[in-house]
């Protein structure tokens, strides 16, 4: 039996950090109800949480809009969101945190403005918080903007409205949910920031360990490659390999000139060893980029680096040109 479609599917991933969830869900539901849309709220428990499941399960009898999903173990927020997306019935998806960040009563305003774009991300404004937290947030967004060229103000906010197409075109894994707007913009989707009032209960004062800062830095570097060089690896590795090889050639030339014209012996010359290592390293880095290009070329048919916004006129489904293996009378390759 086909499930009834709704306007909004709100996905609430629940990890280790959460507030009074039953009360928060009721506030979310009231905000969506005031928006005048049909909705469902899907709570995804990231790993077994018996106490919370026992607390939420009885609520479903009086709340027809509530659905629960429990993952087998702690897979992370990206996996929890993906599990919610795959079981959602909404025409639009709304991600909501399991703790207070924005005023739930403002969800109607957010949905009304966000439906005009592919993805809308909430910006808590005016923003409260400590000076240290403010500096940490500014440094994070500045570094992300410097590396990717995309400027955002509050990627830490979990309130986002997005079309179903985005979840199909851009799969989530690892910790990529933090950078979903950046990945969507890179694919060609329109992303808009919408200011919402910060909740007075948004008072997280936890401390981030050095390991977590390192993880975020590595995530940003990974995003740099995904945005800039996923389809053109030779541009990155080839440039680095060429520079290293050029330096190696320069050092070798200097050493050879000194030996031929200045009578400087080659024995016990660290410069000769360094130049040789740089030449070998440069060739290896260049070959790594070339190998990446060969992999991209081999799988080019399976890759898609664009998103269609709309099609006007003609059949809704495009007619694809026949593939060569489709008209080949011989056996098809696997």
What is the pLDDT at residue 300? 59
What is the pLDDT at residue 47? 87
Give the pLDDT of the chain (334 residues) as one tens digit per residue: 456 789 999 999 999 899 999 999 999 999 999 999 999 999 999 988 888 988 999 999 899 999 999 999 999 999 999 999 999 999 999 999 999 999 999 999 999 999 999 999 999 999 887 788 889 889 999 999 988 889 999 999 999 999 999 999 888 887 889 999 999 998 889 999 999 999 999 977 666 777 787 888 888 888 888 777 777 888 888 899 999 999 999 988 988 898 888 888 877 788 888 888 999 999 999 998 888 888 876 765 666 655 565 565 544 444 444 444 444 444 444 3
What is the pLDDT at residue 149? 87
Q: Is 263 left (phi over 0), alpha (psi -120 to 50) or beta?
A: left
**41 close to 8: Cβ distance less than 8 angstroms:** no
Please indicate, yes or no, whether residues 237 and 100 belong to a single structural domain of this protein.
no
Please indicate, yes or no, whether residues 141 and 219 belong to a single structural domain of this protein.
yes
Q: What is the pLDDT of residues 80-92, one digit of tens each?
A: 999 999 999 999 9
**175 close to 80: Cβ distance less than 8 angstroms:** no
Please indicate, yes or no, whether residues 60 and 74 belong to a single structural domain of this protein.
yes
**285 close to 244: Cβ distance less than 8 angstroms:** yes
Please indicate, yes or no, whether residues 187 and 283 belong to a single structural domain of this protein.
no
Please indicate, yes or no, whether residues 153 and 265 belong to a single structural domain of this protein.
no
Q: What is the pLDDT of residues 247-265, one digit of tens each?
A: 999 988 988 898 888 888 8
**100 close to 202: Cβ distance less than 8 angstroms:** yes
Three-state DSSP class for residue 177: helix
Please indicate, yes or no, whether residues 145 and 257 belong to a single structural domain of this protein.
no
What is the pLDDT at residue 262? 86
Please indicate, yes or no, whether residues 195 and 88 belong to a single structural domain of this protein.
yes
What is the pLDDT at residue 293? 84
303 CB contacts (<8 Å, ≥6 apart)?
231, 296
CA distance 149 to 140: 13
Please indicate, yes or no, whether residues 172 and 189 belong to a single structural domain of this protein.
yes
Please indicate, yes or no, whether residues 294 and 172 belong to a single structural domain of this protein.
no
Overall domain count for the chain: 2
Q: Which residue range is the domain that position 290 belongs to?
A: 233-302
- Buried b / exposed e across 215-250, counting CB within 10 Å, b at 16+? ebeebbeebeeebeeeeebbebbbebbeebbebbee
CA distance from start to end of the chain? 35
CA distance 250 to 169: 46
Please indicate, yes or no, whether residues 107 and 241 belong to a single structural domain of this protein.
no
């Amino acid at each position: 039996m086909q499930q009834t479609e709704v306007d909004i599917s709100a996905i609430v991933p629940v990890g280790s950090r959460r507030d009074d969830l039953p009360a928060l869900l009721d506030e979310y539901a009231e905000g969506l109800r005031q928006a005048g849309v049909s909705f469902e709220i899907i709570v995804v428990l990231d790993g077994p949480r018996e106490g919370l499941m026992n607390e939420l399960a009885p609520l479903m009898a009086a709340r027809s809009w509530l659905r629960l999903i429990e993952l087998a173990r702690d897979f992370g927020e990206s996996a929890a969101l993906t599990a919610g997306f795959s079981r959602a019935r909404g025409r639009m998806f709304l991600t909501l945190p399991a703790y207070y960040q924005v005023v739930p009563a403002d969800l109607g305003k957010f949905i009304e403005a966000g439906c005009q774009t592919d993805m809308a991300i909430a910006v808590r404004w005016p923003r409260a918080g400590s000076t240290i937290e403010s500096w940490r947030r500014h440094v994070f967004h500045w570094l992300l903007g410097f590396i990717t060229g995309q400027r955002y103000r509050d990627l830490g906010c979990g309130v986002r409205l997005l079309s179903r197409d985005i979840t199909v075109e851009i799969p989530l894994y690892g910790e990529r949910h933090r950078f979903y707007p950046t990945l969507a913009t890179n694919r060609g989707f329109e992303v808009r920031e919408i200011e919402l009032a910060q909740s007075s209960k948004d008072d997280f004062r936890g401390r981030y360990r050095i390991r977590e800062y390192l993880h975020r830095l590595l995530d940003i570097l990974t995003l740099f490659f995904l945005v800039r060089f996923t389809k053109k690896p030779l541009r990155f590795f080839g440039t680095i390999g060429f520079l290293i090889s050029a330096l190696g050639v320069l050092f070798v030339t200097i050493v050879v000139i000194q030996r031929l014209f200045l009578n400087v012996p080659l024995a016990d010359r660290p410069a000769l060893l360094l130049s040789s290592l740089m030449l070998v390293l440069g060739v290896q880095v260049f070959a790594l980029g070339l190998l990446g290009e060969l992999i991209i070329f081999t799988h080019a048919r399976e890759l898609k680096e664009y998103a269609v916004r709309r099609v006007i006129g003609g059949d809704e489904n495009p007619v694809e040109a026949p593939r060569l293996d489709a008209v080949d009378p011989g056996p098809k390759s696997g």
